[in-house]
Amino acid sequence: MSTEGSDTERKTVMTYVPAYQKERWKEHADQLGMSQSEFLRTMVQAGRRNFEIPDLPSGEEEETAQSANSQNSEESAQQGEEFRERVRAALSDSEYRSWDELLAALTNDIEDRLDTTLQDLQASNEVQYSGRHGGYTLAGSSERPDE
């Protein structure tokens, strides 16, 4: 089985979104000088960072992990309640909302936040965009091999 970084074979992924959402993504990709495909890959990878599941602890790390898990559970419960409140607020605006409408209402600021953050990181020379490599990288990462 190949590792995530070494498998370069490309596969097609299809999804259906409302026309307004596709147009918004296209405009944002154009602003960033990216193709729509690269824009979506970047957005998906950025979103996945918040959903990664850490490796299970072993041996001596278990006690520390249990303590951290307890704290994380409390934080997770608080975040869960905050998210539930956002869902309630989005639903209170209208009698019915489709899945796509709810998703748009709950994620409408992520594009703006990412754009602002990337601009800030580029301005402070912490991040660079490479058209040649089709993505962003940490500044000073030039020793990475060409793909």
pLDDT at 109 over 50: yes
- Does some domain include residue 32? no
- Does some domain include residue 5? no
- Does some domain include residue 89? yes
- Report the alpha-carbon distance of residue 127 to residue 144 in Å, rounded: 14
Instruction: Report the pLDDT averaged over residues 124-144.
Output: 82
The three-class DSSP label of residue 105 is helix
- Does some domain include residue 76? yes
Question: 6: which DSSP letter?
Answer: T
Q: Which residue segment(s) compose the domain that 72 sits in?
A: 68-108
- Does some domain include residue 92? yes
Label residue 138 by pLDDT band (50, 70, 90): very high
The crossing angle, in degrees rounded to 10, of helices 36-48 and 19-32 is 100
- Does some domain include residue 95? yes
Domain count, the chain: 1
| pTM, rounded to two decimals | 0.36
- Does some domain include residue 18? no
- Does some domain include residue 22? no
Q: What is the pLDDT of residue 81?
A: 82
The residue type found at 36 is Q
Residues 6 or more apart whose CB falls under 8 angstroms from that of 138 comprise: 126, 127, 128
Label residue 147 by pLDDT band (50, 70, 90): very low
